[in-house]
Amino acid sequence: MQFAPAYPILYRVLKPLFPTCLWSGAGHDRVVALTYDDGPHPDYTPSLLAVLERYGVTASFFWLGICVQRSPAIARAIHNQGHWIGIHGYDHQSFPLLSATALRQTLERTQAEIHSACQLHPNAIRDVRPPNGLFTPQTLALLQQWQYRPVMWSVVPEDWVRPGVPIVMQRVLQQVQNGSIIVLHDGVHGGADVAETTAQLIPLLAAQDYKFVTIDQLWQSRL
């Protein structure tokens, strides 16, 4: 079952209820953030990276620690290309199912793998997107206590079920607006299509005068 029609509704409902999360950028700026979850992947991420480099677009990646451990050279290439790096947990366990201790461990283990691969200090890796977009008020309170920044989304085309590039494109273009955070996947689920989706999406958004920014730039615009 696909839930794509529900995500715009969830976004509108949840955004005002949880304002400490980054759901989107300022509505007056014609910018969008391309974000990628579940990588890095040895087969899918290099092709995606080549597309981003070809168009000169800087994106944001939310990594699984176990994938960084498996593909450190690819992680290093992403970082060296200047993309913004965040945390998606160590192995995609749902945050609400974890104890406070286990939650902190999944974050710190991922930071450690990123540091090992990219020499990024853990203090420089503070953005966290919960796996499956699931969190509780308690989750957010712990992230705030530990000085992490929770990042969500505003455009979720559900590419991980591989509905086909045309459908993913249609969903993004129907929903995108100023400040949108677009979620795609370069991992096992959805990654086979991600390079082609991105290659088609970038010129279409650019033709609508959208500029591409990172998650950090969206945070800065809120200050």
Give the C-alpha distances (Å, rounded to integers) separating 42 from 23, 39, 74, 185, 203.
Answer: 29, 9, 7, 13, 26
C-alpha 59/C-alpha 50 separation (Å) is 12
Domain of 118, in residue numbers: 4-221
Mean pLDDT rounded to a whole number for the chain:
96
Name beta bridge partners: 151. 22
Given 41, 83, 92, 185, which residue is catalytic? Answer: 185
Q: Say whether 159 is catalytic.
A: no
CATH code of residue 123: 3.20.20.370
Q: Looking at residues 98-102, what average pLDDT do you find?
A: 98
Residues contacting 69, CB < 8 A, separation 6+: 113, 116
Residue 118 · residue 124 · CB < 8 Å: no
Backbone angles phi, psi at 147, to 5 degrees: 65, 40
Q: pLDDT at position 5, please? A: 85
Q: Say whether 37 is catalytic.
A: yes
pTM score? 0.97
| Total domains, the chain | 1
- Within 51-145, strands assigned E span 60-63, 84-87, 127-128
Residue 221 has pLDDT above 60, yes or no: yes
Q: pLDDT at position 3, please? A: 81
Rounded (5°) CA angle 218-221-223 = 120
Q: pLDDT at position 4, please? A: 84
Given 37, 159, 186, 216, which residue is catalytic? Answer: 37
Q: Looking at residues 25-46, what average pLDDT do you find?
A: 96
Which secondary structure element, helix H or strand E, spans residue 31, and what is its range?
Answer: strand 31-37
| DSSP at 60 | E
What are the tens digits of pLDDT across the range 144-194? 999 999 999 999 999 999 999 999 999 999 999 999 999 999 999 999 999
What are the tens digits of pLDDT across the range 60-93? 999 999 999 999 999 999 999 999 999 999 999 9
